[in-house]
Structure 1
Amino acid sequence: MRPAGPGEPGDQYSGEPGDQLPGEPVDLAVIAVPPAHVATELLELQRIGAARFYTDVASVKVEPLHRAAQLGCDLASYVASHPLAGREKSGPGAARADLFLGRPWALCPTEESDPEARAAVLRLIELCGANAVEVGASDHDRAVAVVSHAPHVAASAVAARLADATDVALGLAGQGVRDVTRIAGSDPGLWLGILSGNAAPVAEVLEAVATDLADAAGALRALAEGDGTATGELTQLLKRGVVGHDRIPGKHGGPASSYAVVQVVIGDRPGQLARLFLVCDEVGVNVEDVRLEHAPGLPLGIAELSVQPDAVPTLTDALRERGWEVP
Structure 2
Amino acid sequence: MSVATPVVGPVLVIGAGLIGASIGLALTRANVEVWLQDVDADQVETAVAMGAGRPYMLNSGQSNAPQIIVVAVPPRFAAGVLSRASLEFPTSVITDVTSVKNNILKQAIEGGADAVRLVGGHPMAGREVSGAAAARKDLFDDRLWIVTTSPDSSSEAQSVVEQLALTCGAIPVRMTVAEHDQAVALVSHAPQIVSSALAAQLVAAQEQHIAVAGQGLRDMTRIAASDSALWVDILSENAGPVAEVMGGVVAELQEVLRALQELAHGDHEHAEILDAILRAGAEGKARIPGRHGNAEIPFSQVAVLIEDKPGELARLFVAAGDASINLEDVRIEHVLGKPSGLVELSVRPEVAEALITALVSRDFDVKGIA
State the TM bucket, normalised to the shorter chain.
Answer: over 0.9
Name the CA distance, whole Å, in 2 between partners of 1:175 and 1:8.
Answer: 40
Among 297, 304, 307, the alignment partner of 2:347 is 307
Gaps of 5+ in 1: none
With normalisation by structure 1, the TM-score equals 0.94
1:242 partnered with 2:249: no
1:161 partnered with 2:201: yes
| Aligned counterparts, 1:90-105, within 5 A | 90-105=130-145
Task: Tell me what 2:29 maps to.
Answer: none
How far off is 1:208 after superposition? 0.9
- Does structure 2 retain, via aligned residues, the 8 Å contact 1:5–1:50? no
Task: Tell me what 2:17 maps to.
Answer: none
Name the CA distance, whole Å, in 2 between partners of 1:152 and 1:80.
Answer: 22
Alpha-carbon spacing, 1:11–1:178, altered in 2? closer, same or farther (3 Å): closer
How far off is 1:50 after superposition? 7.2
The one-letter amino acid paired with 2:296 is: A
Residues 162-221 of structure 1 deviation map (CA, whole Å, 9 limit, x = unaligned): 000011111111111111011010111000000000001101111111111111010011
Name the CA distance, whole Å, in 1 between partners of 2:276 and 2:54.
Answer: 61
Name the CA distance, whole Å, in 1 between partners of 2:264 and 2:150.
Answer: 54
Task: Tell me what 1:271 maps to.
Answer: 311
Task: Tell me what 1:204 maps to.
Answer: 244
Among 176, 183, 189, the alignment partner of 1:136 is 176
Name the CA distance, whole Å, in 2 between partners of 1:8 and 1:260.
Answer: 43
Runs of 4+ in 1 over 6 A off after TM superposition: 6-11
Task: Tell me what 1:62 maps to.
Answer: 102
Name the CA distance, whole Å, in 1 between partners of 2:256 and 2:55.
Answer: 58
Query: Partner of 2:164: helix, strand, or coil?
Result: helix
Q: Give the number of aligned pairs.
A: 324
Among 45, 65, 77, the alignment partner of 1:37 is 77
Task: Tell me what 2:5 maps to.
Answer: none
Query: Partner of 1:264: helix, strand, or coil?
Result: strand
1:111 partnered with 2:111: no
Q: Percent identity?
A: 42
- Does structure 2 retain, via aligned residues, the 8 Å contact 1:35–1:63? no
Name the CA distance, whole Å, in 1 between partners of 2:165 and 2:276.
Answer: 41
- Does structure 1 retain, via aligned residues, the 8 Å contact 2:304–2:342? yes
CA RMSD of aligned residues (A): 1.9
The one-letter amino acid paired with 1:128 is: C
Among 286, 290, 293, the alignment partner of 2:330 is 290
The one-letter amino acid paired with 1:2 is: G
Name the CA distance, whole Å, in 2 between partners of 1:248 and 1:99.
Answer: 20
Among 106, 110, 119, the alignment partner of 1:79 is 119
Task: Tell me what 1:4 maps to.
Answer: 11
Name the CA distance, whole Å, in 2 between partners of 1:300 and 1:90.
Answer: 30
Alpha-carbon spacing, 1:219–1:92, altered in 2? closer, same or farther (3 Å): same
Alpha-carbon spacing, 1:279–1:136, altered in 2? closer, same or farther (3 Å): same
- Does structure 1 retain, via aligned residues, the 8 Å contact 2:119–2:158? yes
- Does structure 2 retain, via aligned residues, the 8 Å contact 1:249–1:256? yes
With normalisation by structure 2, the TM-score equals 0.84
Name the CA distance, whole Å, in 2 between partners of 1:320 and 1:53.
Answer: 57
- Does structure 2 retain, via aligned residues, the 8 Å contact 1:45–1:51? no
Name the CA distance, whole Å, in 2 between partners of 1:48 and 1:205.
Answer: 39
Name the CA distance, whole Å, in 2 between partners of 1:181 and 1:206.
Answer: 17
How far off is 1:22 after superposition? 4.8
Among 21, 31, 49, the alignment partner of 2:89 is 49
Task: Tell me what 2:189 maps to.
Answer: 149
How far off is 1:35 after superposition? 2.1
1:215 partnered with 2:255: yes
- Does structure 1 retain, via aligned residues, the 8 Å contact 2:11–2:34? no
Name the CA distance, whole Å, in 1 between partners of 2:353 and 2:62.
Answer: 64
Most deviating of 291-300 and 78-87 = 291-300
Residues 26-85 of structure 1 deviation map (CA, whole Å, 9 limit, x = unaligned): 111100012232221111112221761111000001011111222231011111010010
- Does structure 2 retain, via aligned residues, the 8 Å contact 1:267–1:299? yes
Most deviating of 124-133 and 39-48 = 39-48
Among 157, 166, 186, the alignment partner of 1:126 is 166
Task: Tell me what 1:24 maps to.
Answer: 64
Name the CA distance, whole Å, in 2 between partners of 1:12 and 1:94.
Answer: 18
Name the CA distance, whole Å, in 2 between partners of 1:33 and 1:236.
Answer: 43
- Does structure 1 retain, via aligned residues, the 8 Å contact 2:305–2:343? yes
The one-letter amino acid paired with 1:4 is: V
Task: Tell me what 2:270 maps to.
Answer: 230
Residues 120-161 of structure 1 deviation map (CA, whole Å, 9 limit, x = unaligned): 111111111111110001010001000000010011100110
